[in-house]
């Protein structure tokens, strides 16, 4: 599997950050998107594993536990088993039956909904030295 436009386009409105092949930090932009599929520019996104849904995370300077947000939890529990979702491996966008609004929130919070970390196409942000509020 290789990183494709369909894997990163959903994150574009939310300021996805990653690194190039030299380890230089870069932000996903429309221009970069155009080059991803052509392999002219390397990009490896920083994403959160789904197991972080039950952990305290920082998003734009705000700290919270996604699982504890009532509206999100209510929708996730109603449509799916939360523990199962946190342990899910692979592409949840095709398999969970979650409402699109929940998938959008997962993208906004930079959760790996396509199994990119497991495939070696994304970097788990928990492995970075400094959590920069992704």
pLDDT digits (tens, 9 = 90+) for 115-127: 899 999 999 999 9
Provide the 3-class DSSP secondary structure of residue 14: helix
Residue 38 falls within a domain, yes or no?
Answer: yes
Provide the domain limits for residue 111.
Answer: 5-127
Residues 6+ apart with CB under 8 A from 78: none
| Count of domains observed in the chain | 1
For residue 89, what pLDDT is reported? 52
For 45-86, write each residue's pLDDT tens digit: 999 998 888 888 888 888 888 876 655 555 554 444 444 555
Return the DSSP state at 114: B
Residue 48 falls within a domain, yes or no?
Answer: yes
Q: What's the rounded Cα separation, in Å, for the pair 75 and 78?
A: 5
Residue 61 falls within a domain, yes or no?
Answer: yes
For residue 117, what pLDDT is reported? 93
Q: What's the rounded Cα separation, in Å, for the pair 107 and 114?
A: 10
Residue 133 falls within a domain, yes or no?
Answer: no
For residue 121, what pLDDT is reported? 92
For residue 66, what pLDDT is reported? 81
For residue 127, what pLDDT is reported? 92
Residue 134 falls within a domain, yes or no?
Answer: no
For 3-28, write each residue's pLDDT tens digit: 888 888 889 889 899 998 888 898 98
Torsion 1-124-68-54 (CA) sign: positive
- C-alpha radius of gyration, the chain, whole number: 14
Question: What stretches of the chain show up as alpha helix (H) in DSSP?
Answer: 5-8, 30-36, 70-79, 82-86, 100-108
pTM, full prediction: 0.76
Residue 67 falls within a domain, yes or no?
Answer: yes
Residue 49 falls within a domain, yes or no?
Answer: yes
For residue 34, what pLDDT is reported? 74
Residue 132 falls within a domain, yes or no?
Answer: no
Residues in the chain: 134
For residue 6, what pLDDT is reported? 84
């Amino acid at each position: 599997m290789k990183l494709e436009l369909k894997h990163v386009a959903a994150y574009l409105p939310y300021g996805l950050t990653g690194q190039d092949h030299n380890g230089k930090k870069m932000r996903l932009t429309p221009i970069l998107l155009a080059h991803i599929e052509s392999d002219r520019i390397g990009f490896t996104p920083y994403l959160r594993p789904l197991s972080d849904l039950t952990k305290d995370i920082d998003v734009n300077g705000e700290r919270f536990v996604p699982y504890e947000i009532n509206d999100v939890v209510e929708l996730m529990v109603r449509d799916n088993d939360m523990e199962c979702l946190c342990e899910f491996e692979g592409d949840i966008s095709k398999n969970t039956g979650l409402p699109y609004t929940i998938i959008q929130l997962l993208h906004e919070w930079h959760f790996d909904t396509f199994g990119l970390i497991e495939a070696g196409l994304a970097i788990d942000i928990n492995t970075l030295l400094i959590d920069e509020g992704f």
